[in-house]
Every structure is written in C-alpha cells, then in structure tokens.
Amino acid sequence: MDNVEIEEVFSSLGPVGIKRMFSGKGIYHQGVIIALYLFDELMLKADAQSAPAFSAAGARQWVYQREGKNPVAMPYWSVPEDAYDDPDEMAKWVRLAFEAGLRAETGKARPKGKTARASAKMRQKGPGEG
C-alpha cells in the first residue's frame, strides 16, 4: 500500500501524515497516531472502548512476538474486511481509530516530575494553607 492509497483510506477524516516507523509506516491525523502499516497490512488503533467492535466485526488484534519473550497484544487491529469495499464502512472504522488515538493522547497528558509532586502537595493542603 503506497502513501496515496493510505491517504484514500483515511480521506473521510481529512489529511493524514505518514511517517516511516520501524519497518513500516505510522499514520497520523491532527498529530495523533491512528494506524500502522506493517507487514503489508493496515492496522487501526483501538482501545478498551472500541476493541469490542473490532472483534465483533472479525478484525484481528496485532500481537507482537519477540523471540524468547511473551507475546504482547498491541492496541492495533486489522481493518474489517467489509470496510475495503464500502467507503462509508471504512469511514466508521477510521473514525473509531481516531477517537481511540485521541483518548490515548488525553491519557498521556499528566504532569510529571516536580510539577506532579507540587500538584499533589497542593491537593493535599486545604484552601489558604498554601
């Protein structure tokens, strides 16, 4: 799948960015990673909220297997087969991937380091104790 074909798949969302990643490509929309193209397969981002829909549609979750290590289930799923023949169906799945990507980004937006400790201390103190 070349970049033009990838852009067509995600056209219902609007412009996507495509970056080389590992031995494949990462696909981004509005700066949020929403899919991977690895091993000649497009895989859409999913999470606890959207994964059941992917599973029910017959999609497969990507499981990363490294020699000598336990397999790790990744948050990416194959595209349900029906979506390749129906642009409206594809639009539904890529929208779910974008929404999962947004939720993942929101989950990352937590204070770290000194800022986190200072925030925690401030929450422990009552008003006017600062």
Alpha helices in the chain (DSSP H): 3-9, 51-56, 87-108, 113-124
96 located within any domain = yes
User: What single letter denotes the amino acid at residue 38?
Assistant: L
129 located within any domain = no
Six token digits for residue 45: 């981002």
Residues 6+ apart with CB under 8 A from 50: 96, 97, 99, 100
2: pLDDT strictly greater than 80: yes
Number of domains in the chain: 1
Which structural domain, as residue segments, surrounds residue 118? 3-124
- pLDDT, tens digit (0-9, with 9 covering 90-100), for 22-72: 789 999 999 999 999 998 999 999 999 999 999 999 999 999 888 888 999
Q: What is the C-alpha radius of gyration for the chain, rounded to an integer number of angstroms?
A: 19
130 located within any domain = no
- Here the CATH number for the domain that contains residue 41 is 3.30.1460.30
Residue 46 exposed, middle or buried by CB count within 10 Å (0-12, 13-18, 19+): buried
Dihedral sign for Cα 25, 13, 102, 94, please.
negative
116: pLDDT strictly greater than 80: no
65 located within any domain = yes
Please tell me the predicted confidence (pLDDT) of residue 22.
Answer: 76
25 located within any domain = yes
50 located within any domain = yes
pTM of the model: 0.80
